[in-house]
Structure 1
Amino acid sequence: MTHSNLQIPGYLVHGPIGQGGMASVYLATQESLNRKVAIKVLRNGHDTQFNERFINEAHFIASLNNPHIITIHDISTLANGDYYIAMEYLDGGDLSENREQFREPAAILRLIRQIAQGLAVVHAKGIIHRDVKPANILIRKDGSAVLTDFGIAKDVDNDSDLTMAGHSLGSPSYSSPEQAQGQPLDITTDIYGLGVILLELLLGYNPFKGNTHTSTAINHIQQALPALPAEYAYLQPLLDRMLAKRPGERFQSCEELVEAIDPLLDPTASTMRPATARPLPSRLPGKMPRFLLPVLGVVAAVTVVFALTYESETEREINRLLEQAEQGLEEGRLVAPEQDNARYYYRQVLLLEQDNSEAHEGLARVTQMQVQGYVARGAEALERGDLTKPRDKNALHYYRAALALEEDNPQAMAGIDQLAAEYSRRARTHLLEGDLDRAHRDTNTGLGIQPDNAELLALRTEIDAKMPAAKKLIRDVFGKIRKTIDGDS
């Protein structure tokens, strides 16, 4: 049956207004109350798993009571057995269609606060939304925001989900790093998605969005959070916590997030402002003959001009070196060729002036650009599948090089996590296929990358338990011999 001529007892169906991966949405009038409603009708309704997911969504939303969560009016079935949900109809469009309303920071923060309040109710029920994005935020006529579409929501403590093969789990542009990697999720994944929306509204674009789903996912995992424009700098700490790469470093609840937003919306709250310069005295202290004032004025002017224009030989050399260093940065000559690179010139400046702030800042920029380069090459190697080979041109090499320069770099650490997770996935697959040798090899490779990885350690224990005693003895003896040979060589 098609839904082109949809008929539902008690409703006058006007026509389709939307379509998703699982369902179609129609505008209708509920005749008993003469109110407009949106009716979401499940497609492929004979699939038991689809039905379960659809009804779970309806029952869950109906159990919530919050002005920032869509309201469910009715749950039932069509004559052919297809399920439908009648819900609150909002004709204001979604967030992506209403961006002009949210150009000022205060309006944006109020929007984020409202959705956080709705999510707090969702999370209190032990559910993660998993698809917080502009298309799932509807706007009422009064400008208030409403969260909708819980089609891929899941229990916090339930590792299984009802996501069907072929359907994406969340939207890549707003997915958290752990979601992009298929790792276990907690409620902070929704806070991350909300943080991406905040960043996008402030900047006018989504800096994580790449040309492909894969590149977008890698950007969430590895790309550093861009700095906000100066006028929004006071919001940087809020964004830093919402968009932390590691879940444990984010706000741990939406209530905590709301508490952090409230002072930013309070016009009476104290904010950090640049110190006001002390006004110059209106007149010279003491008494002075009037005829000397013009003379002193000329002398002072000449003195100031001389002070501003005089430059010693050392200062000229420092300025020359700083210019060469900046040119090296612009041309990508960070540490090579020898004696003609940015790092070399900044170090030469420090030999002449040990506390030169431009040189110290420049060296820090060189290191940061090196780290960013290694992380970017690591991401490219990861996408190519060059995980640990070829030598010096693989993802592991690049991430470790980045960490050698900045030991707590979040993008490189996330890359290491992703490598370990990939070898864990491979080992688990081989184990399920009964190939113990390959499972053991991938487990050891993963542990070589991340020795304290709990999942890999558990896999090694499981593999050892399943491996025949004779085979394990040969493997262990061979391993010891190879270590001895490697040590001797």
Structure 2
Amino acid sequence: MPSDDFLSLDQISNLFPQLENIQLIGTKGPQQIFSATLKSNFAPVILRLVPTEEADVFGWTPEFVIRSRAIVEQSHQGLLRVYEVGQAGSFTFIISAHSPYPRLADIEKIPQIKPQTALTIIRNLAEGLLTLHRKGIFHGGITPKQITVRPDGGDALLLPINIYPAQPPVDMGDFASPEWVTGAEPAFTPGMDIYALGLTLYLLLTRTTPLEAQFAMPSSLIRCSDEVDAVVSRAINPSPRERYRDMGEFITDLDKAIARPAGGISAAPAKSAVQPAIALNGSGKGQSNVYYYLIPALIVGIVLTYTCILYKKDVAKIRSDYNEQVQKANEAKADVVRKANK
């Protein structure tokens, strides 16, 4: 989009008198992103702005705006506050709280945290999402980019809406559930959010993804219990039927794992999910449980490998289609201007 179509800071100030200290911090396609402060309570916020005539192209459909408005003022310690969603002038906007913490996507900025802390963080996020699920609102776009974590691991916050709804599954990467990627389930479900939280827990525990770790169980990479392996493997099971069906059930098992987070650690980290299975000929503690949980992990490996192929195949087409729609919209506006000047 040409820079001429963007609003100046003075124009933004006039459109949003409830904000002060407004600063442009970035753009994403037709979207402008500003940091600001709410005059009412001095809270730091982020303002995201998209021209309403291009909102559908970006993914901010009327249905998305309605769903986002339902989240406004929902308060939970695991969720970033969304203060306002609506239209100002010819723009659609979202004003949400601004967290000073690094995003989980920048995990190298976050020191290693203990398994119990990681479990507690995920439980807090799950409890926040449960408040939305009870209202029939599902996130559908949880990724490390949407989660901020305090560097000491003492707190984490999830933005409760997917602010880039036009772009899943591309931007979601491995965090898009198999049924969403394949189209087997066209609508958001609790299981999709649980799947993403399960992968987030794996990342917090091991500082890597199942794909990068060749689908090894957490207990083969860090010191944690069988209960931790159990809750992770069920949460990321590729089959919605075998996965947790609702967030409350997930939280119950997280509580069990929090009560017993520690466990043994392998002599050396497993290079793949197959190696721990070979070791099951022995009689070590918990080995039968590990074997049981490796089966869905191997299935996850197959599904995610297939998913990656889909991403590589479709990403160019999706981006091309998006750019083409934006270009057509801009050309149409230019034609209107030219005709008006004749």
Same-fold call, TM cutoff 0.5: yes
CA distance 1:273–1:173, shift in 2 (3 Å): closer
1:194 aligned partner: 197
1:108 aligned partner: 118
User: CA offset at residue 78 of structure 1?
Assistant: 3.3
Asked if the contact 1:38–1:89 (Cα under 8 Å) also holds between the matched residues in 2, the reply is: yes
Of 223, 238, 251, the residue aligned with 1:231 is 223
> Which amino acid in the other structure matches residue 411 of structure 1?
I
User: CA offset at residue 409 of structure 1?
Assistant: 10
Task: Give aligned-pair identity as a percent.
Answer: 21
Q: Which runs of 5+ in 2 are unaligned?
A: 266-277, 283-294, 311-342
Q: Establish whether residue 257 from structure 1 lines up as the match of residue 250 from structure 2.
A: yes
Q: Establish whether residue 86 from structure 1 lines up as the match of residue 105 from structure 2.
A: no
CA distance 1:102–1:183, shift in 2 (3 Å): farther
Write the distance in 1 (CA, Å) between the matches of 2:131 and 2:40: 30
CA distance 1:47–1:145, shift in 2 (3 Å): same
Write the distance in 1 (CA, Å) between the matches of 2:250 and 2:39: 41
Q: Deviations over 1:50-78 (max 9, x none)?
A: 35255224302216332222212233433
CA distance 1:226–1:409, shift in 2 (3 Å): closer
Write the distance in 1 (CA, Å) between the matches of 2:244 and 2:86: 38
Indicate the larger mover: 19-28 or 249-258: 19-28
Write the distance in 1 (CA, Å) between the matches of 2:132 and 2:280: 48
Q: Secondary structure at the match of 2:71?
A: helix
Q: How does 1:470-489 map to 2 (within 5 A)?
A: none
Q: Secondary structure at the match of 1:83?
A: strand
Asked if the contact 1:130–1:152 (Cα under 8 Å) also holds between the matched residues in 2, the reply is: no
Q: Establish whether residue 3 from structure 1 lines up as the match of residue 3 from structure 2.
A: no
CA distance 1:25–1:251, shift in 2 (3 Å): same
Q: Establish whether residue 67 from structure 1 lines up as the match of residue 60 from structure 2.
A: no
Asked if the contact 1:61–1:70 (Cα under 8 Å) also holds between the matched residues in 2, the reply is: no
Q: How does 1:236-251 map to 2 (within 5 A)?
A: 236-251=229-244
> Which amino acid in the other structure matches residue 299 of structure 2?
Q
Write the distance in 1 (CA, Å) between the matches of 2:247 and 2:117: 18
User: CA offset at residue 360 of structure 1?
Assistant: 9.8
CA distance 1:22–1:82, shift in 2 (3 Å): same
Asked if the contact 1:68–1:115 (Cα under 8 Å) also holds between the matched residues in 2, the reply is: yes
Asked if the contact 1:132–1:190 (Cα under 8 Å) also holds between the matched residues in 2, the reply is: yes
Asked if the contact 1:105–1:202 (Cα under 8 Å) also holds between the matched residues in 2, the reply is: yes
Task: Compare the two structures and name the one with the higher helix fraction.
Answer: 1
> Which amino acid in the other structure matches residue 54 of structure 2?
D
> Which amino acid in the other structure matches residue 144 of structure 1?
D
1:175 aligned partner: 176
Q: Which runs of 5+ in 1 are unaligned?
A: 154-162, 211-222, 275-357, 363-406, 423-489
Q: TM-score, normalised by structure 2?
A: 0.64
User: CA offset at residue 260 of structure 1?
Assistant: 1.1
Of 27, 43, 51, the residue aligned with 1:35 is 43
2:299 aligned partner: 411
User: CA offset at residue 106 of structure 1?
Assistant: 1.4
User: CA offset at residue 11 of structure 1?
Assistant: 1.7
Q: How does 1:6-155 map to 2 (within 5 A)?
A: 6-7=12-13, 8-20=16-28, 23-42=31-50, 44-47=51-54, 49=56, 50-53=60-63, 55-62=65-72, 64-79=74-89, 81-97=90-106, 100-139=110-149, 143-148=154-159, 150-151=161-162
> Which amino acid in the other structure matches residue 91 of structure 2?
D
CA distance 1:410–1:206, shift in 2 (3 Å): closer
Q: Secondary structure at the match of 2:119?
A: helix
Asked if the contact 2:110–2:149 (Cα under 8 Å) also holds between the matched residues in 1, the reply is: no
CA distance 1:45–1:37, shift in 2 (3 Å): same
Q: Secondary structure at the match of 2:105?
A: helix
Q: Secondary structure at the match of 1:128?
A: coil
Write the distance in 1 (CA, Å) between the matches of 2:80 and 2:18: 21
User: CA offset at residue 194 of structure 1?
Assistant: 0.9
User: CA offset at residue 273 of structure 1?
Assistant: 8.2
Write the distance in 1 (CA, Å) between the matches of 2:144 and 2:263: 31
Number of aligned pairs? 264
Q: Secondary structure at the match of 1:47?
A: helix
> Which amino acid in the other structure matches residue 191 of structure 2?
T
State the structure with more CA Rg: 1
* Structure 1 vs Structure 2 CA RMSD: 3.9
Write the distance in 1 (CA, Å) between the matches of 2:297 and 2:114: 32
Q: Deviations over 1:213-270 (max 9, x none)?
A: xxxxxxxxxx85646326224211111211112111112221111111223323xx69
> Which amino acid in the other structure matches residue 78 of structure 2?
H
Write the distance in 1 (CA, Å) between the matches of 2:155 and 2:194: 19
Q: TM-score, normalised by structure 1?
A: 0.46
Asked if the contact 2:233–2:296 (Cα under 8 Å) also holds between the matched residues in 1, the reply is: no
User: CA offset at residue 108 of structure 1?
Assistant: 0.7
Q: Secondary structure at the match of 2:35?
A: strand
User: CA offset at residue 110 of structure 1?
Assistant: 1.1
User: CA offset at residue 129 of structure 1?
Assistant: 1.3
